[in-house]
Amino acid sequence: MDFTVQKKMFRIAIKLLILVVFLGSIMIWIMNPTSTYSDIWTPYIHAKTNSTYLGNQGEPLLLYMFPILFIAALGCVYLHLEKKCGTKNCSESTAEEINGISLWKRPIFVKGPLGIVFWTELAFIVMFIALLVWSFAVYLKIGFSPITPQLAAKYEEQVWEAQLSLAAFRLGSLGNICLALLFFPVARGSSVLPLVGLTSEASIKYHIWLGHITMVLFTAHGLLYIIYWIAMNQLSETLKWDKIWISNVAGELSLLFGLGMWVTSFARIRRQMFELFFYTHNLYTLFLIFFVLHIGISYSFIMMPGLYLFLIDRYLRFLQSRQKVCVLSSLLLPCETLELNFSKNTGLEYSPTSIIFINVPSISKLQWHPFTITSNSNLEPETLSVVIGRGGSWSQKLYQMLSTPSSVERLEVAVEGPYGPASTHFLRHDSLVMVSGGLGITPFFSIIRELIFQSTTLGTKTPQILLICAFRNSADLTMLDFILPGYGTLIDSCPVKLQIEAYVTREKHPPMSTADKDLIRKISFKPNVLDMPISAILGPNSWLWLGVIISCSFVLFIVMLGIITRFYIYPIDHNTNMIYPLSSRAVIGMLLICGSITLTASAVVVMNKKQNANKARQNTQFIDAPSPGFHSTDRELESFPKQSFIQATNVHYGSRPDLEMILSKCEGSSIGVLVCGPRKMRHDVATICSSGLVDNLHFETISFSW
């Protein structure tokens, strides 16, 4: 059998195994509220897992934490094989496959509080809501049935009070289900999202939706308990920190920190006061600590898998951000937009539309901002570029700092990433229509460059491209010069069929050309000898190493937890759970999780650091770094005239693109429609593609950061 076929079959086998484990995990969630689970399954599993080493922690570890981490580790192997087999781009999809995929990715809702919702998203939303409703209904049905006036009187309660207490408790259980999913979308480097074709940037909306549902459930959980305590004349319960049972004080503190995050995360506050949202969102650490102290470490294992993967990702990002990177140059455009060019390790590869997070300590040591990568790792193996436009105060300060005559000699920058899709599917279409507004054009630069690489180097047949871009002012047209790496390249020499239609909405006529407006200024920096090229924190085999971190850290956590339980907790408590404090168990569990992740991830990073450093030295030999104590003012400052991309572009002044007319005239059996820009533009394009006006339109929205 051919080796390529064997590898393909191996990948299929891995995917099937992942699917089986995932379906088994879903079944556990569905059966959890039933009497079958509590009366039959739980005693059997508890008897098999309850030991002097793990106690009652064995059951949630086996049922909830192990399956998801197993999927994540196995997913790393799958993604590594996919990367090595060169399946980064899909170009052999049949018309039936394209139509099948397009049907599920077609927008079903365009306007409303949820924004653009696809059929696939709607299906998962319905299933998730059904799980919550099913769980709550079964919990109440089973829980209410034994509550009788006699039983309630035994505990000095009325029937409605006992039912209220049970309902409050079960609302907390539903919140835990939401919390179990909350951290998957924000684990940027996790293997779980790429397995289902998602990226962290595109999944932020799921984090927002889940966050709102989580806080609604937890708030209702807390309010109902307060009402119950008032009805029972037991308000003193709000100050109770039980030694071996639930800590009410910890739950109240967790809820307060959660409310602080929730209030500042609403769209209007987030957009108008982003820094307030950014800083208050860091309260998640205190929210989680007190949440675990509230319910105990054993019950926390239900929501722990997503958080565990997030902690691994967060620590790896922390390690990467400690290293300052080499900034080679900056291009300043007259539209107050700039491009930063970094040196990168030649072994670092990333997909089109990837993003990178940037921190400039001279502006803010705490703020990290995501930007879409405009370069292509194949065409530009030694450099990485991002375009930063005028937006918030951070980007304005950066532009002012670089555009002043006494600009800095060296720009100190730290990065996290890149992060992007594991594969792209642009080649499966006959034509691509790219619709952008303002800086929404930046993700399309990397796509166009990837298609150029596919056409020139690999000889792949590429789709023809229609780029429709809307700008406010004619000065913004200079951004078109970033389409190709070489600024002197004529559009006629572009190996892909590219048609550009630009619309300047706030000017009715071409402006009078001035020398200052026609210039693109270039500033070359002199990096410090300690600045390193951007490289993957885990090296070229990052997926494999991530799988090693996930599996080894979990094994290390289990071993350390077993040792401490067997030789420290068990001699005191003897698995009765009535002597050793619940909060002390929680603290030990949290410390062991953080410790195992720190030890394992640090060891893997150190192992890869030497190899990255050797490659970095080879990659930075061309950089003439200044000697210590030497401060040269001889900075290279060049000016470039507008190039032929602008001259060859059809520019329409004083109008907006008639998207319905343009899309209806597109020809081809499969037309990929990519949109990136303001919300209204995305909604308009989604409405056209979902209206059935043209059957061959396949809509996709592109996330961008600027």
Q: What is the DSSP string of 146-182?
A: T--HHHHHHTT--HHHHHHHHHHHHHHHHHHHHHHHH
Contacts of 565 (CB under 8 A, 6+ apart): 52, 53, 54, 55, 57
Q: What is the pLDDT of residues 523-572, one digit of tens each?
A: 888 878 888 899 999 988 899 999 999 999 999 999 999 999 999 999 99
Nearest to 178 by CA among 211, 225, 221: 211
pLDDT tens digits along 268-290: 888 888 888 888 999 999 999 99
Both structure tokens of 500? 């550009």
| Section 243-264 average pLDDT | 94
Flag whether pLDDT at 595 surpasses 90. yes
Mean pLDDT estimate for the chain? 85
Inter-residue contact 106 to 118 (CB < 8 Å): yes
Angle at the Cα of 619 from the Cα atoms of 614 and 620, rounded to 5 degrees = 100
**Three-state DSSP class for residue 648:** coil
401 or 704, which is more confident: 401
DSSP codes, 63-128: IIIHHHHHHHHHHHHHHHHHHHTT-SB-----HHHHHHHHHHTSEEE-SSTT-SEEHHHHHHHHHH
Q: Tell me the whole-structure pTM to 2 decimals.
A: 0.89
Q: What does the pLDDT read at residue 526?
A: 84
Residue whose C-alpha is closest to residue 687's, from 106, 23, 66, 85: 106
Which pLDDT does position 95 carry in this prediction? 44
| Phi/psi at 639 (5° precision) | -125, 135
- Pick the more confident residue, 272 or 306: 306
pLDDT at 11: 87
Cβ(437)–Cβ(678) below 8 Å: yes
Q: Is the pLDDT of residue 6 over 80?
A: no
Residue 230: per-residue pLDDT: 94
Q: How far is CA 91 from CA 9, 86, 427, 460, 508, in A?
A: 19, 12, 5, 9, 42
513 pLDDT more than 80:
no
CB 636 within 8 A of CB 647: no
pLDDT given for residue 644 in this prediction = 47
Q: What is the pLDDT of residue 596?
A: 97
- What letter would DSSP give residue 626? P
The CA angle 155-156-162, to the nearest 5 degrees, is 70
The winner for highest mean pLDDT among 128-142, 185-199, 472-486, 523-537 is 128-142
392, amino acid identity: G
C-beta separation of 306 from 376 below 8 A? no
Query: Alpha-carbon distance 488 to 642, whole Å?
Result: 9
- Is residue 2 very low, low, confident or very high in pLDDT (cuts 50, 70, 90)? low
Residue 645 pLDDT class (50, 70, 90 cuts): low
Q: In the Cβ-directed half-sphere of 178, how many Cα atoms lie within 13 Å?
A: 25
Q: Are strands 464-471 and 431-437 parallel, antiparallel or unpaired?
A: parallel
Could you tell me which residues are beta bridge partners of residue 434?
467, 674
How much is the pLDDT for 627?
39
- Contact between 383 and 341 under an 8 Å Cβ cutoff? The reply is yes
pLDDT computed for residue 100 by the predictor: 45
In sequence order, what are the residues at sequence separation of 6 or more whose Cβ sits closer than 8 angstroms to the Cβ of residue 554?
65, 66, 69, 308, 596
Residue 17 or residue 701, greater confidence? 17
Please report, rounded to a whole number, the percentage of residues in the chain having pLDDT higher than 90.
48
Q: How high is the pLDDT of residue 27?
A: 95
Under a CB-based contact definition with an 8 Å cutoff, are residues 704 and 442 in contact?
Answer: yes
Structural domains for the chain: 3-83+115-318+541-603 (no CATH), 324-531+658-701 (3.40.50.80)
pLDDT of 494 over the 90 cut = no
User: What is the separation, in whole angstroms, between the first and last Cα of the chain?
Assistant: 49
Range with top average pLDDT, 129-133, 195-199, 476-480: 129-133
Given this model, what pLDDT does residue 498 score?
86
What pLDDT is stored for residue 641 in this prediction? Answer: 39
DSSP letters, 293-348, are: HHH-HHHHTTTHHHHHHHHHHHHHHHHHHTSEE-EEEEEE-TTS-EEEEEEB-TT-
